[in-house]
Chains A and B, each alone.
Chain A
Amino acid sequence: MTGAGTARGAGTPRVALVTGGSRGIGLATARLLQESGDRVAITHRSTAVDRAQLAGGAGTHDLYPVSMDVCDAASVDRGFSQVEEALGPVEILVAAAGITRDTLLLRMSESAWSEVIETNLGGVYRTVKRALPAMVRAHFGRVVIISSVAGWLGSPGQANYAAAKAALGGFARSLAREVASRQVTVNVVVPGLIDTDMSAAVPERRREELVSATPIGRMGTPEEVAAAVGYLASPHAGYVTGALLPVDGGVSMGL
């Protein structure tokens, strides 16, 4: 019987890897999984990891930091191997690593374009591909990809970012069909304006515009996004795959 979450019962510690897990939505997600008892690796590239933030509440496993450049397949492979050795095969992959290089298209350089596409889209390809064989073999896996409402609403100055984030929808749904028979689910969380370092870099006037277009009328928190990721990664979500789940205060309703 391979139905309704029998492959992995609730409460069994699972092994998760969160790319971009050293801050923002990635860190909030890593914390949520950690607090639910999972063994969680976080990848980082741009920031040094603050060791003090690795510990969780009583009875939890410390976050396991691993250096990984998602633009480099060899680095991805090394990082996964390190995690597999320390924690075991990755059962939950949360792809949250992402960057912005904002500028109007008229001024957008080849490097601003390619760095964002290579990190935000290529990085997901590389990490998911590396995680997949073990999931397919185990007949269990959870892939949760962090997109952005910018991919559907459009966002001036972010043609590169929005293109990559929208592409993740087609990527996820194709993969969801490929691996559904192995009880590997692939879903996309689509955050709106969330209070992180990344959104702090958005000009204040643009942030205010977005908040005023948001029915709930405020920015979201990384924890509110993490809760959606946590659900999709949970045994309860075994019948949800290929879904795009907005966590955006209602700003994308109807799209």
Chain B
Amino acid sequence: MDDEAKFDKFRECAVEVLKVEPTQVTREARFADDLDADSLDLVELVMALEEAFEIEVDEAELDGIETVGQAFDLVAGKVA
């Protein structure tokens, strides 16, 4: 899967879980400020991403992640 396909899949998850428009899900978007996501939303998103990409994300890896781009890089790095 190339990065574009991965990002499409990531965007699908974000749109479904966060109830946002696909156009809002940009690399620069901040979860809290731009996507109005609270901590529970983010946990739900991580669980959805784990399922969609068949990966596992540790709690510690989520520290300091504030933007879509950061989260995407974390996920993309785990997908073979």
Residues in A lying within 8 Å of B, measured CB to CB: 133, 136-137, 178-179, 181-182
Contact = CB atoms under 8 A, between A and B. Distances in A.
A179 B40 CA distance: 8
Interface in B41-63: 44, 47
Contacts of B40: 136, 178-179, 181-182
A179 B43 CA distance: 11
B38 A133 contact: no
Interface residues of B, number: 4
Interface in B20-79: 38, 40, 44, 47
Contacts of B38: 181
10 contacts: A133-B44, A133-B47, A136-B40, A136-B44, A137-B44, A178-B40, A179-B40, A181-B38, A181-B40, A182-B40
Contacts of B47: 133
A132 to B, nearest CB: 10
Sorted from nearest, which 10 A-B pairs have the closest CB atoms?
A136-B44, A178-B40, A181-B40, A133-B47, A181-B38, A136-B40, A179-B40, A182-B40, A137-B44, A133-B44
Contacts of A179: 40
Nearest to A180: B40
Nearest to B39: A178
Contacts of A178: 40
Given A133-B47, A136-B44, A178-B40, 7 more contacts: A133-B44, A136-B40, A137-B44, A179-B40, A181-B38, A181-B40, A182-B40
Nearest to B44: A136
A178 B44 CA distance: 12
Nearest to A133: B47
Nearest to B38: A181
B50 to A, nearest CB: 11
Contacts of B44: 133, 136-137
